[in-house]
Structure 1
């Protein structure tokens, strides 16, 4: 697929259906946003009892600079009917499912208010270069603060609809199922939970007595991270970490650090706990769900001081 000939339509519940070419997108007003993308299954392996699926630990997350055009800018060209409720984005990727016969294209929808947010973009660059194929070349939807399943790769077309989309990647997958054997209380996966990770020291590392820097990252799907607290005694006491925040990058993670003076030999359980501006705090135990989404319990690292 060459970008010179690439195009995609916006159709459905719009006043003027239109086909946009890649070159037309490049000519429209653009924005560059630093965005955290976290797999909804990040840290799935930490759930107890365990859940089926890719056994991610703490590595299914990343952030980058994405450049593109606001989806709302494109929808201004087509107009949107007053009856519209959702915007459906279809990717080129297809594959079989184990729970259904046939092959299925990856298709997801956004509620209209999220699709019209000025920072929901159709991206064409990643870190200053055309998006690599594995990350969605030539065009990818980017939805800040939602888990990464919403950021559809390899865009094929966009359709505005008047009802609620019912595709399997929206109503079967990427749904919280609170119970093991029934679907009572199920609800969709959307915004990222308030979360943090300890990057240093490494889990089960051996350290010498003296000063050590405990550091890591924190992020959230609503508002901004406002505090990270650290415990060196398995949660009995907590102290505030220092945050490195940038108000110009509201969708990036926050780096934090805490200087610890380890005076006594022994084994220590270090914990980190993030809080965001809406008051959402990492819980001691993550809310278990059948597909293992949204794990955000306190981050724990054990170390030995010798």
Structure 2
């Protein structure tokens, strides 16, 4: 085997920080419907927790008629559901906001797609018996640590409105791509929430608490909120559904190309509907050509691969733009809605290339 040849053909995660670990999927080189586990992006607020026997117990408490504690093996024996879905950090593409915002400067790779298997959350809630006053369900992970803006130690905890908690594909997951979830992605139990950004899918799940009021934990009320104004909190709203989006995977930004025929390829996805079309422009958005959509993975939450054959005979610099539209009528905007924490970037994707 030619060691040099085999090694250079393997992409690597792109590292932003190591403590806590935050690394991007090499999305420009992922051509599979299912992202290999070693290439799934990593997003953490704290250092990894220390695995103990308590990780294999999950309590359901609060406004329920029968508080319960489930052990791992019991969950494995329950009716299960499998769902393939996009998992995207709400800060994906944050580095493209103008003006710039603070936070991890993700480019395009805080996104992956996996096949998750687990017990539908609504099954556990049914067993526990919900009281009539229930409004939200809170999920607490085993990871914890300090924040820069508040004093004290905080666990990572998020809530879902009751209707989303009862969604048939909201899962207490224990498998990713046919194997136990890797520890760095939430083993042994992780909440998986379809259609929503990844902050909702709490890792290392410890406790489920059913409440009759609005949850105000810092990762709910401070973080993962759209603040459209720089100086005040007016018109704020929570981050929820994944925005319609597309990414050009090949060619790469600022790549040198020769004249002739080139295949432009990429992905498109949305949290509200299936991708209906992807169009490309080479003249600054004056005209648009339709890309070829590949048959999507058999899941309503899957991304869609697309490609386009580009014949270019004139040398020069070009801007290639991609714009996706979903079945709900959502279209990528020319400019993303700026917000001071940099969530939900989904502007028309654009790269520059030079033909020599």
Residue 3 of structure 1: how far off its partner (Å): 6.6
User: Normalization by structure 1: what TM-score?
Assistant: 0.98
Q: Is the 8 A contact 1:3 1:138 kept in 2?
A: no
Describe the superposition over 1:233-288 as per-residue Cα deviations: whole angstroms up to 9, x where unpaired. 22111011111133621111100111111121111100000001111100000000
Q: Is the 8 A contact 1:230 1:273 kept in 2?
A: yes
Describe the superposition over 1:77-125 as per-residue Cα deviations: whole angstroms up to 9, x where unpaired. 1111121010100001101011100110001000000000000000001
- In structure 2, the residue matched to 1:100 is 150
Q: May I ask how many residue pairs the two structures share in their alignment?
A: 306
Q: Is the 8 A contact 1:5 1:21 kept in 2?
A: no
- In structure 1, the residue matched to 2:350 is 300
- Separation (CA, whole Å) in 2 of partners of 1:136 and 1:109: 17
2:179 aligned with 1:129, yes or no?
Answer: yes
* Structure 1 residues 170-185: aligned runs within 5 Å: 170-185=220-235
- In structure 2, the residue matched to 1:73 is 123
Residue 5 of structure 1: how far off its partner (Å): 7.8
- Separation (CA, whole Å) in 2 of partners of 1:227 and 1:199: 17
User: Structure 1 residues 4 and 101, CA, compared in 2 at 3 Å: closer, same or farther?
Assistant: closer
2:84 aligned with 1:21, yes or no?
Answer: no
User: Structure 1 residues 8 and 302, CA, compared in 2 at 3 Å: closer, same or farther?
Assistant: same
Q: Can you give the 5+ residue segments of structure 2 that lack an aligned partner in the other structure?
A: 1-50
2:274 aligned with 1:228, yes or no?
Answer: no
- In structure 2, the residue matched to 1:285 is 335
User: Structure 1 residues 233 and 116, CA, compared in 2 at 3 Å: closer, same or farther?
Assistant: same
- In structure 2, the residue matched to 1:152 is 202
Q: Is the 8 A contact 2:55 2:188 kept in 1?
A: no
Residue 32 of structure 1: how far off its partner (Å): 1.5
Aligned-residue CA RMSD (Å): 1.2
- The worse-fitting range, judged by mean Cα deviation, of 245-254 and 261-270 is 245-254
- Separation (CA, whole Å) in 1 of partners of 2:68 and 2:153: 28
- Separation (CA, whole Å) in 2 of partners of 1:46 and 1:210: 30
- Separation (CA, whole Å) in 2 of partners of 1:49 and 1:68: 41
Q: Can you give the 5+ residue segments of structure 1 that lack an aligned partner in the other structure?
A: none
Equivalent residue in structure 1 for 2:106, among 38, 41, 56? 56
